[in-house]
A and B are shown apart, each in its own frame.
Chain A
């Protein structure tokens, strides 16, 4: 496995042997836009740990880890004080869990695809600050249908919308905290709601409407966060749009643990996540409560 070293990029490491596990890891990397370094042998695992200096998480299939492996994991999780460690192993490791502050999810022997999928999704969602999904939901439901009246309400989901063909992205910054806002779009479905506008994918009209709605939505989200943390100086960047039919691959070099919402008709999804570049805990959003927007549509 020849892999160049990319020290500023965030990875997960998956280590195991069963095909079911690796298929679910592959699918999870797509669902969550996470880069998962998959290791099928002990030597590959050790190589991965030597290359990936800050794993965002670790997944283990039902393999009896040696003490040496665990020692390496312990160093990664405690000495380097990086992000949460997730052990998924049929044998559990209660001592390790208790002593090394790792979070362990124990699955049954020969766990099936669904069990793996649920465990991985739950782990990914556990990295997201509580109530972030509620902030996104409230902001989106209150403003986006006013731009796109044909849309149904949005609901929380565990991962990124499937099969989008356009994506709009905004970066959000607040000192060391960086946010990634992505709106996933099924272009033709959105165009059907706007019969008076030209459907050209590179045209301005539909895109402008989407940009304005998402910009306003992101603005409401930032306002909600600023109500809880008024000193965080959070602001939104300019949108960047990608036609996924022409640019099928888009990826950040860092993993943003994100909350995801999806319109009930499956036509528009939004993902938003934050990271702290100094590896400090992300802000606490548990004090959030919904505030109705005042007046007419507010262009932020």
Chain B
């Protein structure tokens, strides 16, 4: 089939993320259920309307870590009706399965220390105690956010952790996010960093992953199974790949909480001791990350309300 005749591929923006899906085992789906594959950036249909949702489906979802599910925009009404029915049944029947997507949960909030960190005037610890309240527009999609808050950070943290766990088999410990200031720098010399632009109707900015050379080489070795002793052009692209995976993993989750970020391509920089202070917008956050491969930093620089 030539490219001209090929039907357009399903596009992520045509689907509405499901914050919490209520599906009754034994009930017949009256809408199609979709999954987003971050590695390929593709939306694929998982179950067709008409399929009887059963325990095997629940089990399958649990096996793959309860991924975010989506419905197409034209089937939101059918989904809402199904959800309402399931909620009614929740109080009485024992055969209701609540499947949570990967939208941030309370347990995924990583905030240490006793002093609440204020981000744009909002105490992050206080926010973290509450489940996210997502405003919806008429189509059922989350209303666009104009400020970056704890929900955004939770999704970013979850994406960073899952990417390094799946690619490098490395558990990460994230220190408390710190607001960016005009003078804040990484506590180590940064030799390689990758960035991706955040562009949406409401927020704009850049996020960066900043590595000391040795940490990067260790992480790359863990990811590829190859041994690298020197940072050079041939292997620098891996920094962009890490960022690409994080961005792809975070995008659906961000959409689910109201941050509809455009697709983007990471770029990377190399140097002796890179200062990212002037590269990113001043407002935002820095996270210091500890891993078995060494420390590195994740930076979010944003400008909101544009």
Q: Which residues of B contact A118 (CB under 8 A)?
A: none
- Within the assembled complex, what's the spacing in Å between the Cα atoms of A176 and B9? 11
Please name the residue on chain B nearest to A29 by beta carbon: B233
Q: Which residues of B contact A238 (CB under 8 A)?
A: 197, 204-206, 281, 303
Check if B199 sits within 8 Å of A235, measured CB to CB: yes
Q: Please encode chain A, from 249 to 270, with 1 for each CB lying within 8 Å of some chain B CB and 0 for all others.
A: 1111110000000000000000
Check if A4 sits within 8 Å of B197, measured CB to CB: no
A9 contacts partner chain B, Cβ-Cβ < 8 Å:
yes
Q: Which residues of A contact B199 (CB under 8 A)?
A: 171, 173, 235-237
- Within the assembled complex, what's the spacing in Å between the Cα atoms of A176 and B264? 9
Q: How many residues of B contact A (CB 8 A)?
A: 45
- Within the assembled complex, what's the spacing in Å between the Cα atoms of A241 and B280? 8
Please name the residue on chain A nearest to B233 by beta carbon: A249
**Which residues between 168 and 224 of chain B lie within 8 Å of chain A, taking CB atoms?**
195, 197-199, 201, 204-206, 220, 223-224
**Which residues between 218 and 270 of chain B lie within 8 Å of chain A, taking CB atoms?**
220, 223-224, 226, 228, 233-238, 240-241, 244, 262-270
- Contact among B9, B235, B262, B278 with A173 in the assembled complex (CB-CB below 8 Å): B262
**Would you call the interface of chain A mostly helix, strand, loop, or mixed?**
loop
B108 smallest CB distance to A (angstroms): 26
- Contact among B244, B274, B281 with A247 in the assembled complex (CB-CB below 8 Å): B274
Q: Which residues of B contact A282 (CB under 8 A)?
A: none
A169 contacts partner chain B, Cβ-Cβ < 8 Å:
yes
Check if A6 sits within 8 Å of B241, measured CB to CB: yes
Please name the residue on chain B nearest to A2 by beta carbon: B226
Check if A171 sits within 8 Å of B275, measured CB to CB: no
- Within the assembled complex, what's the spacing in Å between the Cα atoms of A280 and B9? 10
Check if B224 sits within 8 Å of A5, measured CB to CB: yes
- Contact among A9, A237, A247, A252 with B198 in the assembled complex (CB-CB below 8 Å): A237
- Within the assembled complex, what's the spacing in Å between the Cα atoms of A5 and B220? 10
Check if B204 sits within 8 Å of A240, measured CB to CB: no
Q: Which residues of A contact B263 (CB under 8 A)?
A: 173, 175-176, 178, 277
**Which residues between 139 and 167 of chain A lie within 8 Å of chain B, taking CB atoms?**
none
B125 contacts partner chain A, Cβ-Cβ < 8 Å:
no
A88 contacts partner chain B, Cβ-Cβ < 8 Å:
no
Q: Which residues of A contact B271 (CB under 8 A)?
A: 246-249
B11 contacts partner chain A, Cβ-Cβ < 8 Å:
yes
A195 contacts partner chain B, Cβ-Cβ < 8 Å:
no
- Contact among B224, B235, B236 with A251 in the assembled complex (CB-CB below 8 Å): B236
- Within the assembled complex, what's the spacing in Å between the Cα atoms of A235 and B233? 31
A57 smallest CB distance to B (angstroms): 18
Q: Which residues of A contact B278 (CB under 8 A)?
A: 202, 241
Check if B3 sits within 8 Å of A81, measured CB to CB: yes
Q: How many residues of A contact B (CB 8 A)?
A: 39
A86 contacts partner chain B, Cβ-Cβ < 8 Å:
no
B165 contacts partner chain A, Cβ-Cβ < 8 Å:
no
Q: Please encode chain B, from 262 to 306, with 1 for each CB lying within 8 Å of some chain A CB and 0 for all others.
A: 111111111110110011110000000000000000000001000
Q: Which residues of A contact B195 (CB under 8 A)?
A: 240
B74 contacts partner chain A, Cβ-Cβ < 8 Å:
no
Check if B234 sits within 8 Å of A250, measured CB to CB: no
Check if A253 sits within 8 Å of B240, measured CB to CB: yes
B80 contacts partner chain A, Cβ-Cβ < 8 Å:
no
Please name the residue on chain A nearest to B227 by beta carbon: A2
A8 contacts partner chain B, Cβ-Cβ < 8 Å:
yes
A295 contacts partner chain B, Cβ-Cβ < 8 Å:
no
B261 smallest CB distance to A (angstroms): 9
- Within the assembled complex, what's the spacing in Å between the Cα atoms of A22 and B62? 52
Q: Which residues of A contact B264 (CB under 8 A)?
A: 171, 173, 178, 237
A230 contacts partner chain B, Cβ-Cβ < 8 Å:
no
- Within the assembled complex, what's the spacing in Å between the Cα atoms of A216 and B173? 42
Please name the residue on chain B nearest to A246 by beta carbon: B271
Check if B41 sits within 8 Å of A277, measured CB to CB: yes
- Within the assembled complex, what's the spacing in Å between the Cα atoms of A191 and B228? 42
Taking A6-B241, A253-B240 as known contacts, 11 extra A-B pairs with beta carbons closer than 8 A to each other, sorted by chain A number, are: A4-B220, A4-B223, A5-B224, A9-B240, A9-B241, A176-B263, A242-B269, A248-B270, A252-B266, A253-B265, A277-B265
Some 26 contacts from A to B, beta carbons below 8 A apart, are A4-B224, A6-B238, A8-B241, A35-B237, A173-B262, A173-B263, A180-B267, A238-B204, A238-B205, A240-B197, A240-B206, A240-B280, A242-B269, A246-B271, A246-B275, A249-B269, A250-B267, A251-B236, A252-B240, A253-B241, A253-B265, A253-B266, A254-B265, A275-B265, A277-B41, A281-B3
Listed in ascending order, the chain B residues whose CB lies under 8 Å from chain A are: 3, 9, 11, 13, 41, 195, 197-199, 201, 204-206, 220, 223-224, 226, 228, 233-238, 240-241, 244, 262-272, 274-275, 278-281, 303
The 8 nearest A-B residue pairs measured at CB: A253-B240, A173-B262, A171-B197, A249-B270, A237-B197, A252-B267, A247-B271, A237-B199
